[in-house]
Amino acid sequence: MIPDLAVGPGAATVPNAQHAVRQGKLLAKNIVASLRGCRIRQYVHHSLGTVATLGLGRGVFQYRGLVITGLPAWLMHRGYHVLAVPTWERKVRVLAVWLTAAVFGRDIVSLASVQDPRREFRTGGEPAVQREHA
């Protein structure tokens, strides 16, 4: 559990990647501060709210007393995740895939490999048509 010093002693919040990233940044600053003889700070969790997707085009966002639902919340969820992606190049790639899927539909070509992911290794990569005629 992650101590939630913003709430009070003994309070905790869930361990997730958001905390790991934030704690990692603070750890780096604390190492530099320690080497320079400066003050080391404790990690204090500050909630940025809660956001979740409830399916394509539907979501929910909550920050303190503010609640937003539907398409705006879904867009906020997507936007939040784009901001979390490292480097601008990757952010643009993620956005491009999402926009392409919005215009042309989701790419379902790769879903066949999910049903039998080892088939290509067993068959040596031969197309199914060639195997049937052999």
> How far is 133 from 43, CA to CA, in rounded Å?
65
Contact between 43 and 23 under an 8 Å Cβ cutoff? The reply is yes
pLDDT-derived band at 58 (thresholds 50, 70, 90) equals very high
Burial class (CB in 10 A: 0-12, 13-18, 19+), 74: buried
The 10s digit of each residue's pLDDT in 4-33 is 776 778 877 777 777 888 889 999 999 999
- pLDDT one-digit tens code per residue, 60-83: 999 888 999 999 999 999 988 898
Confidence of residue 113 (pLDDT cuts 50, 70, 90): low
This prediction's pTM: 0.55
Alpha helices of the chain — where are they, by DSSP H?
A: 17-35, 71-84, 88-104, 112-115, 119-123, 128-133
How far is 41 from 52, CA to CA, in rounded Å?
Answer: 31
